[in-house]
């Protein structure tokens, strides 16, 4: 029975990509605005009875940190006592991680049931030649139906690389978060920073009541404000770094005081939050706005415990290994600095014998990352990810050896891990690389990614309270 269910899951995942794969050879060259048809996701949702119009939804866009913001917001809202749906993409290990209810991934049985429902609805719609249903639109529709049937209080939807021409943006959303935006995906969004911002700001629709803006690079902020004024869009709620203060750090638990436009929240969380203070400000402001919408006359907990939150692949010390091992998706200079700043802040950047296993495809900032790390690492083993779409022709091991360091290379994380344990003695190992590499690590080390929580959840809603009207 279990094998049959797994086969059904695989079959529906293959179906999710079928419409796009059939249209792909006929799609025009150009940007997302020329190739994508997110309106068919809207048509599909309407055919299903518009499940997204009966729930409270929040959308997240940006260039960096979308997933972290989405997971953090879902965690905080759950600890405030709300039932929370979470949609993120892509997944790390299991496709079903993309849809979560109160932190737990959707079951295989539920995924099959809802995928069948979406397939039945899609088959009633006639698309023009060479148009297609976006795969992520299908999954968002499954999530919307699943969340509606489970009567969630609020749902968080992480958008893809854009917003204006993104299928997930078709989900009706009352609130929005924008993480840092920079020039990226030039072949899909446009060659200039203004093109990218134009796409991202499309997250603000006629249904969006408010949006929270993460601190932005100076040029991004100026262009964003110009476009916002041109389109007569509402002012954002602007988050500031000084709104989050570390109160205490003890036994790998941090206490933060976060100021919002309403109350001041006290957050107890894992030390990894040190690296995401600005994210926490954005998240707590959004959480307060959501609470005001949903529970205007109810008390909100001002003391929230998320100590057991897991942020997979985000400066994560992996459990139950013979050598302390840090995993992070660092792929360029800025990422490396963030890791170093985090370790310094928690007192873990002292004199240690360290090595690293690093996975750097051709399109990543290898030089920048290696230049930042060379002072702190004795050796690096370079490996490839198993994702066949990534290119690995750059000779990073040679670059590292020219810096006077020990460098080796191998074909996979599995062989790199064994090489590190068998032949290279250190006090700590860092695992750094692209998301496909993180997937390889989680699979090989058999690390569970089914929940956003490390331990059984605490009782919700404990601590001091304040009503929204206060």
Assign 105 to helix, strand or coil: strand
**pLDDT tens per residue, range 68-80:** 999 999 999 999 9
In the chain, list all ranges with CATH 3.40.1190.10. 2-311+450-467
- Residue 250 CB contacts under 8 Å (≥ 6 apart), including other chains: none
Assign 409 to helix, strand or coil: strand
In the chain, list all ranges with CATH 3.90.190.20. 316-444
The confidence score (pLDDT) of residue 350 equals: 86
Q: How far apart are CA 353 and CA 324, in angstroms?
A: 11
Mean pLDDT to the nearest integer, 411-420: 96
For residue 168, is pLDDT > 90?
yes
Mean pLDDT to the nearest integer, 115-127: 98
Given pLDDT bands bounded at 50, 70 and 90, which one contains residue 26? very high
Determine the CATH number of domain 2-311+450-467: 3.40.1190.10
Mean pLDDT of the residues in the chain: 94
Q: How far apart are CA 90 and CA 168, in angstroms?
A: 13
Given pLDDT bands bounded at 50, 70 and 90, which one contains residue 422? confident
What burial class does residue 197 get, using C-beta atoms within 10 Å of its C-beta: 0-12 exposed, 13-18 middle, 19+ buried?
buried
Q: How far apart are CA 394 and CA 384, in angstroms?
A: 11
Q: Given phi > 0 = left and psi -120 to 50 = alpha, else beta, which region is 467?
A: beta
Alpha carbon 19 to chain centroid, angstroms:
25
Q: How far apart are CA 442 and CA 446, in angstroms?
A: 6
316-444 sits in which CATH class?
A: alpha beta
For residue 459, is pLDDT > 80?
no
Label each residue of 246-311 as H, E or C.
EEEEECCEEEEEEECCCCEEEEEEEHHHHHHHHHHHHHHHHHHHHHHHHCCCCEEECEEECCCECC
Q: How far apart are CA 359 and CA 361, in angstroms?
A: 7
- Residue 274 CB contacts under 8 Å (≥ 6 apart), including other chains: 246, 254, 342, 345, 346
């Amino acid at each position: 029975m279990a094998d049959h269910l797994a086969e059904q899951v695989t079959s529906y995942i293959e179906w999710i990509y079928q419409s796009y794969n059939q249209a792909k050879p006929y799609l025009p060259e150009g940007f997302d605005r020329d190739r994508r048809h997110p309106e068919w996701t809207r048509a599909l949702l309407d055919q299903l009875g518009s499940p997204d119009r009966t729930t409270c939804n929040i959308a997240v866009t940006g260039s960096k940190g979308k997933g972290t913001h989405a997971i953090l917001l879902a965690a905080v809202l759950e600890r405030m006592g709300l039932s929370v749906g979470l949609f993120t993409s892509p997944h790390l290990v299991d496709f079903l991680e993309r849809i979560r209810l109160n932190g737990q991934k959707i079951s295989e049985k539920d995924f099959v049931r809802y995928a069948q429902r979406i397939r039945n609805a899609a088959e009633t719609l006639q698309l023009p030649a060479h148009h297609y249903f976006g795969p992520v639109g299908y999954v968002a529709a499954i999530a919307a139906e699943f969340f509606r049937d489970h009567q969630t209080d609020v749902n968080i939807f992480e958008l893809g690389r854009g917003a204006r021409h993104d299928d997930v943006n078709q989900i009706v959303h009352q609130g929005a978060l924008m993480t840092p935006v920079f020039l990226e995906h030039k072949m899909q969004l446009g060659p200039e920073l203004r093109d990218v911002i134009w796409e991202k700001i499309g997250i603000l629709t006629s249904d969006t009541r408010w949006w929270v803006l993460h601190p932005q690079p100076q040029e991004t902020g100026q262009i964003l404000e110009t476009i916002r004024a041109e389109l007569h869009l509402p002012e954002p709620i602007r988050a500031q770094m000084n709104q989050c203060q570390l109160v205490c750090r003890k036994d790998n638990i941090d206490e933060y005081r976060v100021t919002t436009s309403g109350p001041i929240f006290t957050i107890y969380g894992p030390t990894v939050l040190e690296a995401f203070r600005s994210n926490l400000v954005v998240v707590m402001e959004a959480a307060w706005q959501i609470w005001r919408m949903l529970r205007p006359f109810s008390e909100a907990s001002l003391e929230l415990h998320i100590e057991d939150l897991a942020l997979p692949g985000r400066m994560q010390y992996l459990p139950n290994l013979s050598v302390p091992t840090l995993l992070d998706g660092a792929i360029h200079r800025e990422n490396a600095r963030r890791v170093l700043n985090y370790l310094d802040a928690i007192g873990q950047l002292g004199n240690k014998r360290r090595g690293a296993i690093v996975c750097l495809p051709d399109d990543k900032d290898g030089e920048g990352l290696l230049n930042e790390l060379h002072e702190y690492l004795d050796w690096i083993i370079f490996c490839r990810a198993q994702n066949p779409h990534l290119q690995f022709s750059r000779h990073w091991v040679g670059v590292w050896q020219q810096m006077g360091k020990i460098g080796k290379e191998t074909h996979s994380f599995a062989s790199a891990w064994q090489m590190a344990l068998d032949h290279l003695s250190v006090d700590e190992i860092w695992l750094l690389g692209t998301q496909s590499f993180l997937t390889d690590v989680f699979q090989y080390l058999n690390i569970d990614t089914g929940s956003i929580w490390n331990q059984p959840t605490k009782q919700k809603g404990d601590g001091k309270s304040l009503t929204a009207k206060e």
